[in-house]
Chains A and B, each alone.
Chain A
Amino acid sequence: MSANQHALLVDRGNLRRRNALNRLVSWSSTVAAVLAVAVLIVVVGSVLLRGLDALSWHFLTTPTALFGESGGGISNAIAGSAIIVAVGAAMAIPVGIGVAIYTTEFAPPRIANPVRFVLDVLNGVPTIITGIFVYGLIVVPQGHGSGFAGSVALAIVMLPIVARTSQEVLALVPGTLKEASAALGIAHWRTVVRVTIPTAMGGLVTGALLGVARVAGETAPLLLAAGIFEQGVKTDPSQPLASIPVFIFQQSEAPSPQAHTEAWAAALVLIAFVLLLNIVARAFYARSQRRMKG
Chain B
Amino acid sequence: MEAGTLKRNAVLRSRRNRTDRIGDPLLRGLSALAAALAVAAIAGIFYEVVHEAWPAVQEFGLKFVTTNDWNPVTKRFGAAPFLYGTVVTSFIALLLATPIALAISIYLTELAPRRIRRPVATLVDLLAAIPTVILGLWGILVLGPFMRDTVEPALNSVLGFLPIFSGDPSAFGYLTAALILTIMAVPIITSVTREVFETVPGDLKEASYALGATRWEMLRTVVLPYSRPGIVGATILGLGRAIGEAIAVAQVIGGATAINVSLFHTGGTMAAQIASQFAGSPSRLQKASLIYLGLILLVFAVIVNVIARVIVSRGTIGDAPIDPEDGMTEAAAL
Contact = CB atoms under 8 A, between A and B. Distances in A.
Interface string A207-227: 000000110111110011000
A260 B219 contact: no
Contacts of A173: none
A50 B140 CA distance: 14
A21 B183 CA distance: 27
Interface stretch (A36-44, A71-79, A174-182): A36-44
Interface string B117-139: 00010111011011111111110
Q: Which of the listed residues B45, B106, B124, B135 has the most CB atoms from chain A within 10 Å of its own CB?
A: B45
Q: Which of the listed residues A97, A126, A253, A260 has the most CB atoms from chain B within 10 Å of its own CB?
A: A126
Nearest to B297: A126
Contacts of A59: none
Q: Which of the listed residues B32, B35, B275 has the most CB atoms from chain A within 10 Å of its own CB?
A: B35
Interface in B21-45: 23-24, 26-28, 30-35, 37-39, 41-42, 44-45
Contact of B247 (A101, A102, A117, A249): A249
Given A224-B278, A264-B137, A33 B214 contact: no
B24 to A, nearest CB: 5
A85 interface: no
B41 A129 contact: no
A51 B23 CA distance: 52
Nearest to A95: B34
Contact of B251 (A44, A252, A282): A252
A31 B100 CA distance: 9
Given A25-B216, A271-B130, A46 B138 contact: yes
A150 to B, nearest CB: 14
A223 B278 CA distance: 9
A128 B42 contact: no
A29 interface: yes
B207 interface: no
B48 A136 contact: yes
Nearest to A145: B279
Given A26-B111, A99-B31, A248-B137, A128 B131 contact: no
A125 interface: yes
Contacts of B42: 118, 121-122, 125
Interface in A68-98: 94-98
A163 B161 CA distance: 51
Interface residues of A, number: 90
B260 to A, nearest CB: 21
Interface string A122-138: 11111111101101110
Interface in B1-57: 20, 23-24, 26-28, 30-35, 37-39, 41-42, 44-45, 48-49, 51-52
Contacts of B171: none
Interface stretch (B60-68, B76-84, B304-312, B320-328): B304-312
A105 B51 CA distance: 36
Contacts of A130: 45
Contact of A120 (B99, B122, B305): B305
A139 to B, nearest CB: 11
Given A37-B120, A37-B124, A95 B37 contact: yes
A271 B31 CA distance: 34
B104 A129 contact: no
A103 B36 CA distance: 11
A121 B188 CA distance: 16
B271 A105 contact: no
B214 A21 contact: yes
Nearest to A192: B27
B275 A128 contact: yes
Contacts of B126: 40, 275, 278
Given A40-B123, A252-B137, A33 B107 contact: yes
A253 B183 CA distance: 21
Minimum-distance CB pairs A-B, first 3 = A217-B131, A126-B244, A98-B34
13 contacts: A25-B106, A28-B103, A29-B107, A32-B107, A33-B120, A36-B100, A36-B123, A36-B186, A102-B31, A128-B294, A189-B23, A223-B247, A249-B133
